[in-house]
Structure 1
Amino acid sequence: MTWTLPEPMLAAPVPDPALPAGWAAEVKWDGWRAAVSVEAGHIMLRSRRGTNLLPAFPEVRAGCAQLPDATALDGELVVWESGRLAFERLQGRLQARGAGAARLAGEWPAHYVAFDLLRLAGTDTTRWAYRRRRAALEELFLDRGLTAPWALCPSTTEADTVREWLTWTAVGVEGIVYKQLDSIYAPSVRGWRKYKVRETQEAIVGAVTGSLRTPRTLLLGRYDTDGRLQYTGRTTTLPQAAARSVAALLAPSRGTHPWTGWTFSAGWGSREALDATLVRPELVVEVGVDVARDSTGRWRHPARWHRPRPDLSPSDVVSFGSPG
């Protein structure tokens, strides 16, 4: 039977950073989730959404020569700049190919931070308990003497270490991921937990004010448990650079839209209606919000723009009314 890369195992958000008994903690990096596989000279580097990332990261392709044949890892692509992780540099590399990709690999080299082992020298390890997968991953790094672009994600069962990691936000650490020591790797299952330090959340762009070419603000939504896209709030006025970057990722609505016929208030408690243009509800963005909510769970204050997340799909966004 031919072995194929499994779908990624996922994490559910939790509000408390405390390390549960029987669990290990890992650093949650500000990067791009990716799985890598090497078999008989064939290399795969696949994003969480299934995109082939290999042409954009020739340094990872070259680094695969360090791995044993028939081996696969789960991890995070990151770029380091001026003492911190630079997501914008990473994002800027995704469309590069050929000579352009090689040039960017020299200017902004990516590292692959491995945090799980999916296959080892022909053996499928996804049914192994996390503690066994982790021990084998550490042994792989030690025995093969792996160097750049490979890096090993730290793991701990010590609460004091977790508290220290939570102070690393200035260098681009998003938070902590928790994995049960006796758990297998379950594709597409939210069996892990994650705690995000930053006050940021993801939502889906359903409409804009201004124009599609130059959006002024974004109207954001999340799907409820019945599969309906609910309006959750809008952003403050976008900076010019952000407006340009978002405009390139938006598409006009075609056919029936979940918000067809809806009107949107200019602000919480205001009767003024916004002049909004509907867009395909496909783009996920990350915004900063405060804790103020109305009775339905909508954000009462405008959200602060943070960044687009084209690496995520609408199904990755937590449901309407959830705290995460």
Structure 2
Amino acid sequence: MEFPVAVALAQAVPELPAGRGWWFEPKLDGQRTILWCEAGRVRLQSRSGRDVSGAWTDLARAGRQLPAGTVLDGEAVVYIAGHVDFSAAQARAASSPARAAQLAARWPASFAAWDLLAHAELGDVRSRPYVERRALLLDALKDVGPPLQVVPATNDRDTALLWYEALRSQGVEGLVAKHTTSTYRAARIWRKVRHADTLDVDVVGYTGPRSRPRALAVRFPDGRTLLSQTVSAPIRREVAARLADAESGRPAHTRAGTAYEAVETGLVAEVLAGTTRHGVVTVTRLR
């Protein structure tokens, strides 16, 4: 397996799937991260494939407890006062290494592992079914402990629904459903339900300077491309960092005729679902 790896994704659904063969995991509100344990070093990868080790040095140090050849998929999260704080995780992800170290000293990160992509002895295990990968993951982390932890999972739908309601106050944003036979591949192979009424859209362009984008052009699942409202400073910095490595853009227009610079960023944005009726899109975060 070569760095970076293309990650599996989840399709938003209105309710949890029913029937036999489904397992359910809490969905924590942090930054999707792949933890690579290699000979002599540990690297961390973002969902988009960037090396983000400098933002999560505390997790990299913790990863040294694992044998070389281990690759974990999960979420980098930050707890503040016992609550998963997405803003704190977002700040870490968007910080320079020096600033990230300062934030880590005050609010250390945790890694919520939910999948094992490579095993130190067995190699690439992505072709194995979910239940086998889950068992290998539990075994790999059984003697490690915080800040590396396995997310809980259940195959009881009623228990999952109880988690959905009871854990919301702790920063759990929803649930992810995975079928017992599913292999790991770069597609929307899982199902997710979230408390927030949001949509995931592809970032396909921007307005304003490349180094300081003002708004984002986002493409919806139905093919529409709309411009967002002015994005927040943390989102602006993260998009600018990604644009620095992207190819040159080209002039483009939305169906309404608004101009933007089109470029494939590989980024996915979360937008408020109720903000698109009149072409006004509010970006809440990048995923």
- In 2, the alpha carbon distance for the partners of 1:96 and 1:206 equals 23
**1:115 alignment partner, SS class:** strand
Counterpart contact for 1:214–1:244, Cα < 8 Å? no
Structure 2 unmatched runs, 5+: none
Rounded to whole Å, the distance in 2 between the matches of 1:69 and 1:234 is 43
Pick one of 289, 294, 303 that aligns with 2:273.
289
Return the offset for 1:113.
Answer: 0.5
**TM-superposition CA deviations, 1:247-290 (whole Å, max 9, x none):** 55468xx7644426x536xxxxxxxxxxx552446565423233
Q: Is residue 17–residue 177 contact of structure 2 (8 Å, CA) maintained in 1? A: no
| Partner Cα separation in structure 1 for residue 148 and residue 93 of structure 2 | 19
The verdict on how the C-alpha distance between 1:180 and 1:219 changes in structure 2, with shifts beyond 3 A counting, is closer
Return the alpha-carbon distance in structure 1 between the equivalents of residues 217 and 118 of structure 2.
42
- Which residue in the other structure is 1:263 paired with? 256
> How far is the alpha carbon of 1:219 from its aligned partner?
6.6
* TM-score (normalised: structure 1): 0.72
CA deviations over 1:145-164 (Å, ceiling 9, x no partner): x2222111111001111111
TM-score by length of 2: 0.80
Given that 1:233 and 1:300 are in contact with CA atoms closer than 8 Å, whether structure 2 keeps it comes out as: no
Identical residues among aligned pairs (%):
31
* Structure 1 residue corresponding to 2:260, chosen from 247, 270, 278: 278
- The answer to whether structure 1 residue 305 and structure 2 residue 287 are counterparts is no
CA distances 1:35-77 after superposition (whole Å, capped 9, x unpaired):
1121322322111111111111111111012212321111111
Partner of 2:21: 22
2:35 match: 36
Match of 1:267 in 2: none
Structure 1 residues 132, 256: CA separation in 2 closer, same or farther (over 3 Å shift)?
A: closer
> Aligned ranges for residues 1-324 of structure 1 at < 5 Å?
3-4=1-2, 6-124=5-123, 125-142=125-142, 144=143, 146-167=144-165, 168-185=167-184, 187-203=185-201, 204=203, 220-222=218-220, 224=222, 230-231=224-225, 235=229, 242-245=231-234, 248=237, 249=239, 256-259=250-253, 262-263=255-256, 276-280=258-262, 282=265, 284-290=268-274, 299-301=276-278, 305=282, 307-309=284-286, 311=287
> Is the partner of 1:163 in helix, strand or coil?
helix
For residues 235 and 117 of structure 2, the distance between their equivalents in structure 1, rounded to whole angstroms, comes to 35
Q: Note the C-alpha offset of 1:205.
A: 7.0
Q: 1:222 to 1:154 in 2, by over 3 A?
A: same
Contact 1:290 1:301 in 2 (8 A): no
Contact 2:18 2:157 in 1 (8 A): yes
**Structure 1: any 5+ residue segments left out of the alignment?**
265-275, 292-298, 312-324
State whether residues 27 and 176 of structure 1, in contact with CA within 8 Å, keep that contact through their aligned partners in structure 2: yes
Amino acid of the residue matched to residue 10 of structure 2? Answer: A
Aligned amino acid, residue 287 of structure 1:
V
Q: CA RMSD in A?
A: 3.1
- Pick closer, same or farther for the CA change 1:247–1:135 going to 2, 3 Å: closer
Say if 1:221 and 1:63 are closer, same or farther in 2 by CA, change over 3 A.
Answer: same
Aligned equivalents of 1:100 and 1:255: distance in 2?
Answer: 31
Decide whether the 8 Å contact of 2:78 with 2:86 is kept in 1: yes
Superimposed CA distance per residue, residues 54-103 of structure 1 (whole angstroms, 9 cap, x where no aligned partner): 11111111101221232111111111123322222112112444543322
Match of 1:273 in 2: none
**Larger gyration radius, structure 1 or structure 2:** 1
User: How far apart, CA to CA, are the structure 2 residues paired with 1:35 and 1:255?
Assistant: 29
